[in-house]
Structure 1
Amino acid sequence: MYNRRTIDRRLTDEFVAGVQQFLDYAFSQTIHVSKNTVRCPCLKCKNMRFHNKDEITVHLWSRGFMPNYHVWTSHGEEPSEEARKLYDYINDGRISLWPGCQRQTKMSAMSELLNLKSETNMSDACFDRMLTIFRNCMPEGANIPKNFYDTKKMIKQMGLPYVKIHACINDCIIYYKEYNDLNSCPLCKHPRYKNCSERRSTMEPFKVLRYLPITPRLQRLYMSSNSAEHMLWHSNMVHPADVEAWKNFNITHPDFACDPRNIRLGLCTD
């Protein structure tokens, strides 16, 4: 969307294709079309004026898109339910730590305290006691959770989960896919669980791998206009690394490459 001009000031093929893709999408969203016109997102109109497809094409070619218009909210591209929940949570997190507090919000204060707990290996009981002391020292109406459980529950709404996967204590395998139902390692024969029970939910594994799914983390980067802009670095600047590989990828996957918001992941081996 923003890689508009070449060095000699000509429109890039990528930008022309991107404008066409945007217009095709915008005019397909009938709820946002009025008398064969939609809002123009050019640098001057900024979605305040309605124009037809040809007029918007000229505006975008000559002026470019308005800054940070990566999610086309005025043209039918709305946040998902998950994204809307996150935005609601962030708005709630902007609540002051207590009425009139200018230096800390509820979310920023609890994030710092949880970080302190992790760095110092603080026990849950100690954390609960610390919250009680803070609550007694602060003005009436302070927005402080009652205990560690409530604090974790609040932060958990950020929606960046991890997945627990049982692993062999000797790192032979992880109990996943074809190994998911095994009770011992097929290589070293070591048991999967410390205790035996008829109910697997009550059995404690010897080792647990915590996997951080990448998809929700990448989605979060696009939910902020500041970080989303950095995600488009490859379309806004010249980069010397792996130029031939990058160009070959663009040729092989033109539909994917035409939208700079698409994410490419490379495999790095040592």
Structure 2
Amino acid sequence: MPIDKSWMQKSRVSSEYHKGVLEFLDFAFSNAPGKEMLPCPCIRCNNCLIRKRETMYDHLLDNEIARNYVRWLMHGEYEFCEPTNTSTNESDMHDEMQEMLNDAFGMPMPNEESERRPHVHEEFEKPNEDANKFYNLLREVEQELYPRCKKFTKLSFIIRLFHMKCLNGWSNKSFTMLLELLKKAFLEGETLPSNYYETKKILCDFGLHYIKIDVCPSDCMLYSKEHANANECVVCGVSR
């Protein structure tokens, strides 16, 4: 069943919002077995700082969740919808991938009406770097993972695979080795990138990058902001 996210638009003092926060935390930490800390999606941390569950709970109630975080890619929402039937699933996934591309570039997506009226998109026909990148990435959204694959596009599979890498601490080398194995195993005509660096470039072009932040071994603090250059924990004194 699709995940109910209507609570995200409710008042943070409402019972619906409070229930939604608990369900979100259950969902996020059940999709990250063994992990005690995950990115916090409150409007202040904005998925840039990692927190324990109890701290994240307080943040989401005090600060509220970032309402534009509609796809929980950093908290285990690998696929964009449950497959009720193939045609609907493909259509929904395609639409949300295009919406992500629109968010990254701020450009509207071409459609049948605009194709009949080329002047509507005249500004995107100019040979500038942003427009070229936009249309190159649009082709990534359209691409099949391999011929006749119905469950994933190239991009949706890459996002899921890369999220697993981040959650489980795979090295860049092991990620490349997995890609090489999958490319041999998939049907002829597969469209996977060849290595970690090609994958990272695709995701960075979409704005899906992440920042690594050191944390105290005892989980006392993060080495960020005013403590970014510290060499030991200001709470317990343990060396960085």
TM more than 0.5: no
Q: Name the TM tier (shorter chain).
A: 0.3 to 0.5
Q: By percentage of residues, which structure has more helix?
A: 2
